[in-house]
Amino acid sequence: MTMITRLPVYPLGTKVNRAGHLVIGGCDATDLAAEFGTPLYLYDEFTLRSKINEFKREFGKRYPDLLILYASKAFINGAMALIMNEEGLGLDVVSEGELGIAKSVKFPMKRVYFHGNNKSLRELELGLKWKAGRIVVDNFHELEMLGRLVKEKGVTQDILLRITPGVDPHTHQYTSTGTIDSKFGIPLPMKEEAIKKAMSTRGLNLVGLHFHIGSLIYETEPYVESVKFILNFAADMKKKYGFILKELDTGGGFAIQYTIDNPAPPFASFAEALTSTIKAECRRLKLKLPRLVIEPGRSTVAQSGVALYTVGVVKDIPGIRTYVSVDGGMGDNIRPALYQARLEAVVANRMRARMTGKVTISGKFCESGDILIRDIELPAMKAGDILAVAGAGAYSIPESMNYNAFCKPPVILVKDSKARLIRRRETLEDITRCDII
């Protein structure tokens, strides 16, 4: 296998130029590393918008009453929020910070859904003040707080209830959120009580139900099972209390391909499974079709993102392993250490170089677990080489940290052979700004 065979997991249209350099969005990755420094995160705008439009096309042609929310936790800043608005998407936010980013760029708040399993009183107050379109209520404590707030302020707030469907999505335990034993959502035995309380609380308008079963889900059956459970519950609540399900939010979690040997199902398969099940179940249960809300995050942005690093120390331990250290690592991408994520990489400045054996890509942080990629086939590496890691668009930057007083990397947007800085590199002044002497 050559490095070129790995290009399908990189942004759409990625190629190799005559100099043997990796080219993304018309930009030479080696030149970008020289101009902006490394570590550097780049997003290819064409791939990003293509993925968004694939969701709009595949779900929209099967279910016209559709709202797509971008799950901000995958990566959000002002520029990203503006792109989502241009594409007509809403935002799924989970904190004061994500809500504040939306407000900072005048994102239409009616298309903002405020999630979170432990919202503070301040966050709920901001959600009301800034007129978030929906507040997704996760538990009884929040339901009570929100009920008091709307009464005090004399306002009405549309809400969804997040129900735990008790479905195993067959993914990593850290990204599984729909099982009975989960910190998220209203537990199964208490779901009816939650409906009763929400419907009887003046100022709260219960418009729908929400579930989210996890992340990086490769199978459609967990979605089908969850939809059936929620719709049967909704039908039961209609009979008992007159509850009308106007919106069904099925979350996100759609898998994407990170490595060449592990392809993911097309978005169309998830769209067909979800929409056909909703239609069939609503017909059987004599329910009016609700608006369908989906919340893709990783599947929207992951492939469009690439991380560029500069190689430093190459340490060969004869008969054991060769470590290739780069100038980033778990400080900017903790996913391999936290989730055992597998990633692909290429040597961006020598794409046609011959593979010479397996190496382990290690970071510069003071942890033995700071490994980006273990045992990957690559050419012989030397200091100064530029390593390009694919699938870096989701969660890497949001989960980055200042461990070892590391300055978080810059982020650029590439399109039509031009690069635009959308987040500058942190500086020492940023690192020490909050210190009080």
Decide if 395 contacts 74 (C-beta within 8 A).
yes
**What are the structure tokens assigned to 255, written together?**
């898998």
Give which of 77, 59, 48 is closest to 306, Cα–Cα.
48
The token pair that represents 153 in the structure block: 């302020």
Give just the sign of the alpha carbon dihedral 231, 232, 238, 241.
Answer: negative
31-38, long-range: CB < 8 A, 24+ apart: 32/308, 32/412, 32/414, 32/419, 33/308, 33/310, 33/348, 33/386, 35/419, 36/410, 36/412, 36/419, 36/421, 36/425, 37/410, 37/425, 38/308, 38/309, 38/310, 38/327, 38/328, 38/386, 38/409
Catalytic residue chosen out of the listed positions 27, 282, 366, 407:
366
Active site residue 366: yes
Low-confidence stretches of the chain (pLDDT < 70) are: 1, 168-182
Q: Supply the pLDDT for residue 174.
A: 37
Task: Say if residues 308 and 38 touch (Cβ distance below 8 Å).
Answer: yes
- State the amino acid at position 38 in one-letter form: T
Predicted local confidence at residue 1, as pLDDT: 64
CA angle, residues 95, 46, 7, in degrees to nearest 5: 100
Please name each of the domains of the chain with its CATH number: 3-37+304-432 (2.40.37.10), 46-301 (3.20.20.10)
Closest CA to 393 of 158, 16, 52, 86: 52
Q: How many Cα atoms occupy the beta-carbon half-sphere of 307 within 13 Å? A: 30
Pairing of β 291-294 and β 305-317: unpaired
The pTM (predicted TM-score) of the whole model is: 0.94
CA dist 141 to 65, 119, 124, 205, 245, Å? 32, 10, 12, 17, 23
Q: What is the C-alpha to C-alpha distance for residues 158 and 266, in angstroms, rounded to an integer?
A: 33
30-67: pLDDT as tens digits: 999 999 999 999 999 999 999 999 999 999 999 999 99
- Cα 295 to Cα 253: distance, rounded to the nearest angstrom: 8
Query: Angle 202-204-209 (CA atoms, 0-180°, nearest 5)?
Result: 140
Q: Is the peptide bond before 39 cis (omega within 30 degrees of 0)?
A: yes
| pLDDT in the model for residue 180 | 61
pLDDT of residue 171: 45
DSSP secondary structure code for residue 227 in this structure = H
Name the β-bridge partners of 77: none
Locate the DSSP E strands across 211-304: 247-249, 291-294
Cα distances from 419 to residues 28, 33, 50, 395, in angstroms, run 10, 11, 18, 21
